[in-house]
Structure 1
């Protein structure tokens, strides 16, 4: 049993093919997750991860507003080789200039932070977006008038710029609201907004939202050039005409994404459709239909005995962060409190699920996804 655990563990962390031999939209790809742990060996307590990105050889994640208070407003670093939280642990603070923003109270309280990416030219700089601000305190009358026309939610979604400064602290330095044109038909869905960020070429930042008025996931883009942060006026994104899967009914949001470029230079987004336990591979040229990669998630079992050994299948995983490192796709799940306890089968993992602890998964990126 110990030998089997070792082999499966190495396959998970080194992105072995997990026993699969085919690559088609109908073939399920298995991936094996390891519990993300603190330095003291305890599982990570209810962080509600909402983003994942590669940074200086490690993975960074952040939490949304529903996380345990100890996890909010910080970036946490994960060693991908063993799923250990080994620092740095960066707490977000508002810079002096950001404290003057109309949105300072919301951002410094308990904002609903979603998605995370690193500046392609300066890895001291990060970007996150906000989603649900339905419980935010009202802004001043002047601020409400200035930012009333969002084209979506009553309180605008915000793009935040964060920077590690000379004192090694992490500051929110800039806050910019996002405005949609009326013809984009986004709708007013406070908790179904931005969930993905990823940089492509030429400082193009791609933004993914969960659903619009037609309950369809959408991709938008902004170019973060030298003038982007010169004012606190609305940023108006461009609708990226990618082909995403079509569904007759149900909710099929995207909840995480990263950029991938093939050897030939073709550009894609790898998207996590958490409700469906699938990846969508979207062609940024808009020419190819999106490919669907079904996933099957397994959680590690430590000190396995009897029928519960090595790994157990999960009932609900809810991936909300994906990050590309070379030829490996890394994923972190957001324990969905309404259904996460449905995963409980084996006694060894019961407490982990009750703590809403997340797992780190990996999967070998397949060339066939982009054909």
Structure 2
């Protein structure tokens, strides 16, 4: 099955749509993009069960995703490869192992016992290397006293966010080889919100890693950077992040986090981050030079119907999608959703998809990139 990439504007072929309210004015588009998703399936054709995807990245002409700690056990600590042409998983995935050095580190107990993994990027110079980030560690065993003293000045939560290096060993396994905790300057006012940390990673030019924070102490999304130099992993000390100083939207009320991100370069060489704002069902188009205001693309999401009845054919509109993974392949943005367990069953409308929603199965969405987004 070849996936069809479709866009329908507000009031388009599917008839009247409820307007999406975007709570910020600057450069918010009046167009509402209709985005269509296909159920991600296992190699045997069954729908993927409760993986709670928290990242998506292009890898060797395919897509790779990972799960956070709330996924069912068989999905945890594993990279899953998806064929974007069919939304089918390639195999059972690459299981994560801990290297001896990581096992013996201050963080070995946490990362070896169902850590809260978020986002995923591939090293620009070596596609056998992935990086991922950890978020919530409130449930983790306490570190030794010496480790606590060494890593106490996080500038954020008591247990630091960890940047983890993964090395592909073979088709079935990847190894956690190195870990560095992140450190935020106190003037950044990141705040102590363990479950509102870094949820988006993207590599820009010159090995600059962009890190998207869900929200700081002022409830605003932030973007930081790390310079991933050749000697970056020769240290286990804090890795201090830098404020990217981007022109992000500001909100007076509510929660408007960014939860996934990838880098895109236009034909004239200008770089942008394409980030998902899952609470608002929107994409943010962020100028990495910080000169342009962020453009907000409002979206409505539709789920595939694999069979038809009189009132339910082809696709059904979703009440909540919650995009948490964004990956760019040439001129297409691919997205995967993280089924939000509190609200996902509210999507149930057509009986054909009832079990998929009840099993928290994710969808793979796609949207063609348009030059107007960057004007």
- TM-score bin (small chain): over 0.9
Aligned residue number for residue 170 of structure 1 = 174
RMSD: 1.7
Aligned residue number for residue 148 of structure 2 = 144
Secondary structure class of the residue paired with 1:144: helix
| Displacement after TM superposition at 1:97 (Å) | 1.4
Q: Does residue 76 of structure 2 align to residue 72 of structure 1?
A: yes
Structure 2 counterpart of 1:160, from 142, 164, 167: 164
Where do 5+ consecutive residues of structure 2 fail to align? 13-26
Q: Does residue 52 of structure 2 align to residue 62 of structure 1?
A: no
Q: Does residue 36 of structure 2 align to residue 32 of structure 1?
A: yes
Structure 2 counterpart of 1:370, from 357, 365, 374: 374
Aligned residue number for residue 300 of structure 2 = 296
| Displacement after TM superposition at 1:86 (Å) | 1.2
**Which has the higher mean CA deviation after the structures are superposed, 311-320 or 13-22?**
13-22
Where do 5+ consecutive residues of structure 1 fail to align? 1-8
Structure 2 counterpart of 1:340, from 318, 337, 344: 344
CA shift in 2, pair 1:88/1:294, >3 Å: same
| Displacement after TM superposition at 1:19 (Å) | 5.6
Secondary structure class of the residue paired with 1:27: strand
Secondary structure class of the residue paired with 1:70: helix
Q: Is the 8 A contact 2:42 2:91 kept in 1?
A: no
Q: Is the 8 A contact 2:94 2:172 kept in 1?
A: no
Structure 2 counterpart of 1:242, from 236, 240, 246: 246
Matches of 2:172 and 2:304 in 1, distance apart?
36
Aligned residue number for residue 190 of structure 1 = 194
CA shift in 2, pair 1:167/1:45, >3 Å: closer
Matches of 1:83 and 1:56 in 2, distance apart?
15
| Displacement after TM superposition at 1:256 (Å) | 0.3
TM-score under structure 2 length normalisation? 0.94
Aligned residue number for residue 3 of structure 1 = none
Matches within 5 A, 1:1-371: 13-18=3-8, 25-87=29-91, 89-165=93-169, 169-371=173-375
Secondary structure class of the residue paired with 1:242: coil
Deviations 1:204-236 (A, max 9, x none): 100001000110000000011111111100000
Deviations 1:22-42 (A, max 9, x none): 997011001110000001111
